[in-house]
Structure 1
């Protein structure tokens, strides 16, 4: 009796049809896993597998990948981290099958046949310079003790409504903030060497912790691009207005002043102006507000009259002119229609001061809003 054949017949019955080997759990960090994660990072950055004719580092990655694919034990150890399917059995593509077909001795390898597989020059992609440094995702050694609880807490608060996902903006990039990127929560745990670039945006190295137990030192703006293209910010919905203002306006060493948003009231004695209730000018300046309005009575922008400062906000880390444009767009349907000399002042609006202050707070909060002029009320969108 052949026992191997008998055992195979036994396990090929209906009683054992639903029985499968237990799923292998992820192991702790070791040199092989980290080497494989370097390969994953390379493929994500270059959209191709490492080749043996590349740089020394690329050649090393290519040989490591080949070694893992050939060794079943190595492959089994790295398979739980294979987010790109590099270790999956792959069927040959149509192109590969055709190449094998035409390489068969039964067919000629004439130049006409070879030309079928040549890519025209106009279809070839331009070579993109390789970045000097590519952020690597590696296993976070102290994940369970230091970060796992935080991710569980965020999931719980998202489920019960205390947190919610909102549209991402650059000002959300702060230490301790959570984001959802491609379906995975990410913690911005640390920022280092932060400086403002020519495009006015902050950049520097980060320490990002992913909820799958990996970490990365990706650039701050690379993180921002990833969130913009496929993610959201996690927002705490339990903050009061006072909490929010304190959080948003707490100035740190990384904060850079952009300018001032101001609200002015006209001191004009012209009955056409003085008779208008709730008439305010909302503007922006990179100077102090006092310097900006020093010559108001000689300027058509200020209706050829002195003005009174009723409110102002110093803005940090954003293009304050964009902030000003949002305010103007919000109140565009209550804009003052009046000609002053040869100009038409466009920054005067007929709206209560309390509504203006409320709108500024909502814009800082990132909340989409509209203004109902009949009800004199801010409407949340």
Structure 2
């Protein structure tokens, strides 16, 4: 039976001049164990193939993995110290393969090579992405801080205001040709601005491409290829293009060639006997947009809460062509939002309703606003209830 010694036994032997050699087992951290195991994989590759692993785009995926790992081990002093006793072939001190650009640790190696694996063995591949897919993701992900973001921040703020006002809108991304300098997109939930676009070149497949400087609204930027941005937008189900702001008239008094959608801005007065309406009848107006006939739109007004459950009078109409009804209506309501009528009425079932399209605005101001919509200057103004006039916005 093996002898065991207590602390008292050790003390007694020490007094007798007898030294006890205590054998301790070196414990390695999980990271050190992984470094050793990874190095042994590389040694096995060298033994099997008679050469160190090389990194090439069309090479074997595991050889590329081992090549990247070997370079990283050579660059880590802790790894060199740990593996020196195991490096019988001089792999850590050799200089017999080209440097590799990946600056990754072992955890990121497989991801960089486009491989998703189980938590255990590296050889159990689950999915291997194409180089094109990997580069597209890398381009989007490899962002850096935009040092001159203050130059671009006002552009993002202006775009957001124009989206809110209806001057711009978003729509699904469709074509690579839409990617141009000065345009905005939404990718991975962030607004992206193409600040610079290099000279277009042809890929080996004969397709056009160009290097872009893309600024993101979170203060980062990326120098990506046009085709990478295209792939990212196509892959992102919520990827969108932000249209240009409306330049010039939003609509005209007469149709032009190619105009197809006809609509009408209408201004109504209510014949309701509600005290607030009765006291301000000359100022209380409903402003709306319809692509139907106005008479059809107001039919049965006395039964509809949106018309204050009362007959209405049409006091002005403005014909327009090639319109986006929702955008135009939102724009008008934003301009006069400060004068929205705060009123609650009961519908025919007695339920309370708060109509949203009624405003305390003189008719002549509505007419002025329509003229500014026509000439494209309306976005510079807002309605001031105190002066009952359109005034320039502070940011203009």
Q: TM-score, normalised by structure 2?
A: 0.39
Q: TM-score, normalised by structure 1?
A: 0.40
